[in-house]
Amino acid sequence: MTSKDARRVSYFYDAEVGNYHYGQGHPMKPHRVRMTHNLVVNYGLYRRMEVFRPRHVSPTAMTRFHSDDYINFLRVITPDNMQDYIRQLQRFNVGEDCPVFDGLFEFCQLYTSGSIGGAMRLNDNQADAVINWAGGLHHAKKAEASGFCYVNDCVLAILELLKKHPRVLYIDIDIHHGDGVEEAFYCTNRVMTVSFHKFGEYFPGTGDVLDTGYAEGKNYAINFPLNDGMDDESYKKIFRPVIGKVM
């Protein structure tokens, strides 16, 4: 590595992630994580990183954010026993957008473990940057699935970072508003959430520029709602000055 490549990068990947399937016609396709990994390998990028297979976190670790009954539900629900859990399916918003599929909880464990494992390596000063392409399921709420997301690995990774660091900055550049993460930290000044997202008649419908946090968290939630038609150059012109001021 040259001096410019001196940063220690940890990359978390488990080949099993590509085996999970949300169902016929569903837009969420975990197989794309495997495709991304193939690009990483074929371009030789893996040589510049330490590659780790994440060690599965326990259900108890997930309840640092999520409710016990919600995590217990995700552990037991299967396509074969769904009819026995009709009320819980409605209560926890599991159904069409967030379907029940074979290995659902194991899938949640896998992607969450990469994010928490990455945060642990940062806390232990074993890496300068960590990557988990399977993670980023930012819509999940404390006791509710949402927007293809069941367990909010972003929130759990931030909670892990807060064990060592006084404050964490979370930057979300997904086209959808990072509502689950913002909601989790809306009343604290230890986490600042910054989200650039399409806004209007678009899921999840949150992320107004006037939503800035509450109580101790006032002004620690920053939203930059965007209209259709955004291109790369325009995005850079808003992203760089905003993040520059935040930092």
**Residue of 37, 66, 138, 139 with catalytic role:** 139
Cis before residue 204, ω within 30 degrees of 0? Answer: yes
CA 51, 130, 245: angle at the middle one, nearest 5?
Answer: 160
Alpha-carbon dihedral angle through residues 77, 86, 71, 68, given to the nearest 10 degrees: -140
Nearest to 207 by CA among 219, 215, 199: 199
Instruction: Report residue 198: phi and psi, to 5°.
Output: -70, 140
Give yes or no: 139 in active site.
yes
Q: Which of 152, 200, 143, 144 shows the shortest CA–CA distance to 172?
A: 152
| Catalytic residue set | 139
